[in-house]
Every structure is written in C-alpha cells, then in structure tokens.
Amino acid sequence: MRCAALLFALVGCSIGGERIEDHPCPSGGTQWTYDNFGASFMARHCETCHASSAAARNGAPSNVTFDTRSDVLRWRERIFDNAAADNTSMPPGPDDPPRAERDALADWLACGAP
C-alpha cells in the first residue's frame, strides 16, 4: 500500500477528488486572471516549494515550477488535482488556502487560467 501511495504522490494523481474535466468553466467565464489571482495564489501557496529559486523544495520535483503563467498552464491539471476545489493534498499545511480560494483556483484553472 505504501508503494501505491508513493506512486500517486510522484505522478501527482488525486484519489477521489474532483477532476478538472468535471469542473466546467462558469457560463459567464471567470473574474479571475493571472494578474488579479493566479500569480498571488501561486506565490502564497505554491512557490515556497515550486519556484525555480526555492531554496528548500521539500521534495517537489525540480522541473515542476509555477514561476510564470506558462508554467501554471503546463501543470494546470496537476495543480487542479492537488489543490483546487475539494482537492487538498497541496499545499501540505499548516497554512492551507481556505475552501473559497480553492474554489476560485478551480474556476480559474477550468477557464484556462486567463
């Protein structure tokens, strides 16, 4: 069982959480953009480990960085699977984003992270 858990952690799979393909972009789009939401969310909750300049990556793979919008787009599904909506495996506490921010992240990512 430990091997299965490690495999899921390494490939970034979620277990039982909402998937990006099951979360449509809201019919009116989203008010969230990289400039007014995405960049600050990534900086506060993700780039401690997932920035190219992170000193202590805490096990985050060196190629998984969220420094730019292009980086976020590359990893959009994996970010959703681990941190958006009801997916809470990332970031690994103690200052987890509240559910409202996770829902905003879900909408932003589902709409293509504009």
Predicted local distance difference test score (pLDDT) of residue 57: 92
| Confidence at 109, pLDDT banded by 50, 70, 90 | very high
Is residue 82 situated within a structural domain? yes
> For residue 14, is it within any domain?
no
**Mean local confidence (pLDDT), 17-46:** 96
**Encoded tokens for 30:** 């989203």
Summarised one tens digit per residue, pLDDT across range 55-93 is 889 999 999 999 999 999 999 999 999 999 999 999 988
- Which residues, other chains included, contact 112 with Cβ-Cβ below 8 Å and sequence gap of 6+? 25, 73
Number of domains in the chain: 1
CA 8 vs CA 4, 40, 54, 96: distances in Å: 6, 27, 23, 20
Is 4 a residue whose pLDDT tops 70? Answer: no
CA 51/CA 105 separation, integer angstroms: 18
Kindly state the tokens that stand for 23. 């979360």
Write down the pLDDT at residue 23. Answer: 96
Note the Cα 78 to chain centre separation in Å: 6
Question: Do residues 112 and 31 lie in contact, with contact meaning Cβ atoms separated by under 8 Å?
Answer: no
User: Residue 7 falls within a domain, yes or no?
Assistant: no
Query: For the whole model, what pTM was predicted?
Result: 0.83
Residue 15 is predicted with a pLDDT of 52
Does a structural domain hold residue 4? no
